[in-house]
Amino acid sequence: MSCARLGLSLLLLAALGWAEDERGSEDSAHPKREGPGHSHWSYADKAQWQSSFPDCGGQRQSPIDIDTNSTVFGHELQPIVLAGYNLDPSERLSLRNNGHTVVLKLPGSLTIASGYSQEYRAKQLHLHWGSPEGPGSEHTVDGRRYDGELHMVYYNPSYRSFEEAMRQPGGLAVLAAFLQVGPEDNVHYQPLLEQLPEVQEEGKETTVAGFNIKGLLPSNLSRYYRYSGSLTTPPCFQTVNWTVFNQTVLLSQKQILLLESTLQGDDDEALQNNFRLTQSLHGRKVLASFQAAISARQAPLPGDGSPPLTPTPDGATKRSTDRAPRAGAGCSPCADSEKQLGFSLQTAHVLAGLFGVLFAVTALTFLIYVHKQRSQNRRPASQSKPNVSYTAASMDEQTL
């Protein structure tokens, strides 16, 4: 019975998703005041990015949800090898609040020496985070959003500049790592975090003494996911070779809170939830450098992606890791028990299924009706306001 119900719920969800898609394209049909390439964008109006930046509506967009059961083992995916990351304190790096994130400029001497079919040179790193109310990674794994995400951005040095490389296929690479609350301070993040108050306002810039940049990444650089995608902010160019590490990076609750509550973006508002929603794969494959089936049986490493064990001091559902809907909760319980059930139960099963189908058809008809009504009564004034603030991650997921 639960299988039939699950199937029907999925059908309904699909129908709802379809209705949302239609609404989205309706919205984008309205001309915007701002022309193409306009540089003012915000996370509050991310549904409208594509009207000013057409690539944001493309078929190879990032971030994505990584469904670990659908990844394909890529035996050619060698461990990531980094060179030149232990910077001398005499080297000063620029740190800037650009209104969307905090960016640390990196010298081109930092390279990815191995792990890709070509060498890449560093350009900058930045972070994505949520708020004290919810997590804020950009990628999700099996529907789960992590507290934050580090992006180290690289370009292919066979192009003259980063700006040229970002427009070319294979021009960019990003190393991504999930940030997660752990039991203690992460000393590697301290040089960066302690400078955040210096760049509180949008546009502010300071310098940071060189430190070991590699320490910001997980220690295990051999377990990762690889796929082709895009910049996760406008102009959303689809030129990024993504690496998303399987091992997470642990920061203390205090450090994550500092990240979530120090910076300001537009209009002096707190800079929070600076993540884009996950985008459809549109048939893309996600490769894994490791075989999940084997590793799943191994004892979990610290920070390997298991839920944080430490309870949050300020309580509540704050670091709840189950906010995001989990896909594929599965039909296995019914498959196991069905064999023992008698004929009458089978009949009940069929009847329940029939009623379910009837309900689904009615609901679908209703949705189609509502959609038609909406299309007929297009009111320009009824557009969703760009100022809506998205706080709860779970709410965001449903707008997809």
Ligand X SMILES: *[C@@H]1O[C@H](CO)[C@@H](O)[C@H](O)[C@H]1NC(C)=O
Nearer to Zn ion, 181 or 240 (CB): 240
Nearer to ligand X, 66 or 208 (CB): 66
At a CB cut-off of 8 Å and minimum separation 6, what does 149 contact?
127, 128, 129, 136, 137, 138, 139, 176, 177, 178, 179, 275
Nearer to ligand X, 236 or 286 (CB): 286
Residue type, 105: K
Residue facing Zn ion at closest CB distance:
151
Query: Least distance (Å) from Zn ion to the CB of residue 212?
Result: 21
Closest CA to 73 of 315, 313, 295: 295
Residue facing ligand X at closest CB distance:
305
At a CB cut-off of 8 Å and minimum separation 6, what does 121 contact?
108, 110, 111, 154, 155, 156, 157
Nearer to ligand X, 265 or 303 (CB): 303
Q: Give the C-alpha separation, 172 to 123, whole Å.
A: 10
Interface residues with ligand X (CB under 6 A) are 68, 141-142, 178, 246, 248, 292, 295-296, 305
295's contact among ligand X, Zn ion, none, with CB below 5 to 8 A by partner kind, is ligand X
Task: Enumerate the H helices of the chain as residue ranges.
Answer: 2-29, 49-52, 162-165, 190-193, 253-261, 292-295, 332-338, 343-376, 393-398
240's contact among ligand X, Zn ion, none, with CB below 5 to 8 A by partner kind, is none
Closest CA to 106 of 128, 127, 90, 84: 84
361's contact among ligand X, Zn ion, none, with CB below 5 to 8 A by partner kind, is none
Nearer to ligand X, 162 or 189 (CB): 189
Q: How many residues bind Zn ion (CB under 5 A)?
A: 1
Write the DSSP symbol of residue 364: H
- The reply to whether 100 belongs to the active site is yes
Q: Give the C-alpha separation, 158 to 56, whole Å.
A: 26
Residue type, 91: E
Q: Give the C-alpha separation, 371 to 232, whole Å.
A: 30
The alpha carbons of the chain give a radius of gyration, in whole angstroms, of 23
**Is residue 117 left, alpha or beta, with left meaning phi > 0 and alpha meaning psi from -120 to 50?**
alpha
Which parts of 144-173 interact with Zn ion (CB under 5 A)?
151
68's contact among ligand X, Zn ion, none, with CB below 5 to 8 A by partner kind, is ligand X
Q: Give the C-alpha separation, 210 to 221, whole Å.
A: 22
Query: Least distance (Å) from ligand X to the CB of residue 174?
Result: 16
151's contact among ligand X, Zn ion, none, with CB below 5 to 8 A by partner kind, is Zn ion
Out of 100, 126, 139, 151, pick the active-site residue. 100
Query: Least distance (Å) from ligand X to the CB of residue 304?
Result: 6
Query: Least distance (Å) from Zn ion to the CB of residue 63?
Result: 8
Query: Least distance (Å) from ligand X to the CB of residue 243?
Result: 12
Query: Least distance (Å) from ligand X to the CB of residue 84?
Result: 27
Nearer to ligand X, 141 or 174 (CB): 141
Burial of 380 per CB tally in 10 Å (0-12, 13-18, 19+): exposed
277's contact among Zn ion, ligand X, none, with CB below 5 to 8 A by partner kind, is none
* Cβ 216 vs Cβ 189: under 8 Å: yes
Q: Could you list the residues that contact Zn ion (CB under 5 A)?
A: 151
The residues annotated with a catalytic role in the active site are 100
